[in-house]
Amino acid sequence: MNSQRAWRLASDTMAGLVFILLMLPLIVVVVFSFGERSFFTIPPSGFSLKWYRAAWESQLFLVPALRSLVLAALATALAALLAVPAALALRRMRPGLLRSLIEFAFLSPLIVPALIIGIALLYSFNRLRLLDTFTALVAAHTLIVFPFMLRSVLTSVLGLRESLLEASEVLGASPTYTLRHVVLPGIVPGIVSGAIFAVIVSLDQFTVSLFVTQSEQIVLPVAIYKYLFDVNDPVAAAVSTVLVVVGLLAAFIIDRLGWLRHLSGGGA
């Protein structure tokens, strides 16, 4: 009994240390953004919102932020349009090697490092003369967020009741009617949860965006990166804090609605 308590204490302590190590960079950025001075101090000196005001008044991040929002929305919509039929097709396939290989190919952007994807897209878009265009950004971000959408939708699709589909067919419903009134309502939680995660990933995507843009189509993460080369003040920390808050709020909403299991593989 004592050994179990000791093991539980050790595991809880290790989990706490890992959590602190993961959260410490975020805490430093947040604290830095609210400081009065233009450099980081411990303990922080005063409390001020002037860096948030400076970020808004500088107009350096507004256009990239709007472009990032539009880009995230388009990439998420395209990923959903691709993920739903892909998930339905995978559901109709028998479990086996072929299905596993196809699913692995669809989810491969989660495994391949973003640096490798960025270099591959750089050469591809350069040959197609699409480098530094909004079309290239949409294609690149759709590729990145598609696995998140597919994983979420596939979990919902696999959780559909076979009896409902059979009942729809027995009652004479057409495949289109069954898709609209039985299948799609059943996978809405998977689509919404995947969409929220896709938007977060798109807004935070830096590496791939840096490779496919140069100067015309700058998105928010790249704008922050370029700003830090010229000025070293908490303005970038203020913008980053807003992104962190948006991500945490989205994750909180998904968790409260119980949709997080659609990405972790839980049942629908």
> What pLDDT does residue 267 have?
43
For the residues 4-14, what does the mean pLDDT come to? 81
For the residues 38-42, what does the mean pLDDT come to? 67
For the residues 60-76, what does the mean pLDDT come to? 89
For the residues 106-116, what does the mean pLDDT come to? 87
User: CB under 8 Å, gap of 24 or more: what pairs does 140-143 form?
Assistant: 140/208, 140/209, 140/212, 141/71, 141/72, 141/74, 141/75, 141/202, 141/205, 141/208, 141/209, 142/74, 142/75, 142/78, 142/79, 142/82, 143/109, 143/117
> What pLDDT does residue 140 have?
93
**Domain containing residue 162:** 51-264
Tell me if 234 is assigned to some domain: yes
Asked if residues 55 and 124 have their Cβ atoms less than 8 Å apart, the reply is no
Whole-model pTM?
0.79
Residue 189 structure tokens: 């939680």
Tell me if 19 is assigned to some domain: no
Tell me if 124 is assigned to some domain: yes
> What pLDDT does residue 94 have?
79
pLDDT digits (tens, 9 = 90+) for 228-264: 777 777 888 888 888 888 777 877 776 776 655 555 5
> What pLDDT does residue 89 have?
86
Higher pLDDT, 53 or 43: 53
Q: Select, from the ranges 10-19, 93-102, 143-152, 234-243, the one with the highest average predicted confidence (pLDDT).
A: 143-152
Which residue, among 31, 38, 67, has the nearest Cα to 209 in the 3D structure?
Answer: 67
Tell me if 11 is assigned to some domain: no
> What pLDDT does residue 156 have?
83
Express as a percent the part of the chain with pLDDT over 90.
10
Q: Which of 80-89, 108-117, 139-148, 238-247 has the lowest mean pLDDT?
A: 238-247
Tell me if 42 is assigned to some domain: no
For the residues 75-91, what does the mean pLDDT come to? 90
Tell me if 22 is assigned to some domain: no
> What pLDDT does residue 160 have?
73
For the residues 188-206, what does the mean pLDDT come to? 86
Mean pLDDT of the chain: 81
Number of structural domains found in the chain: 1
- pLDDT over 80 (residue 45): no
Q: Tell me the DSSP string of the chain.
A: -HHHHHHHHHHHHHHHHHHHHHHHHHHHHHHHHT-SSSS--SS------HHHHHHHHH-SSHHHHHHHHHHHHHHHHHHHHHHHHHHHHHHHSPSSHHHHHHHHHHHGGGTS-HHHHHHHHHHHHHHTT-TTSHHHHHHHHHHHHHHHHHHHHHHHHHTS-HHHHHHHHHTT--HHHHIIIIIHHHTHHHHHHHHHHHHHHHHH--HHHHHH-SSSS--HHHHHHHHHHH--STHHHHHHHHHHHHHHHHHHHHHHTT-THHHHT---
Tell me if 12 is assigned to some domain: no
Residue 145 structure tokens: 């967020």
Tell me if 94 is assigned to some domain: yes
For the residues 83-106, what does the mean pLDDT come to? 85
- What are the strands, taking DSSP E only, across the chain? none
> What pLDDT does residue 266 have?
47
The CATH number for 190's domain is: 1.10.3720.10
For the residues 113-123, what does the mean pLDDT come to? 89
Burial class (CB in 10 A: 0-12, 13-18, 19+), 220: buried
Q: Which of 144-158, 186-200, 202-216, 247-261 has the lowest mean pLDDT?
A: 247-261
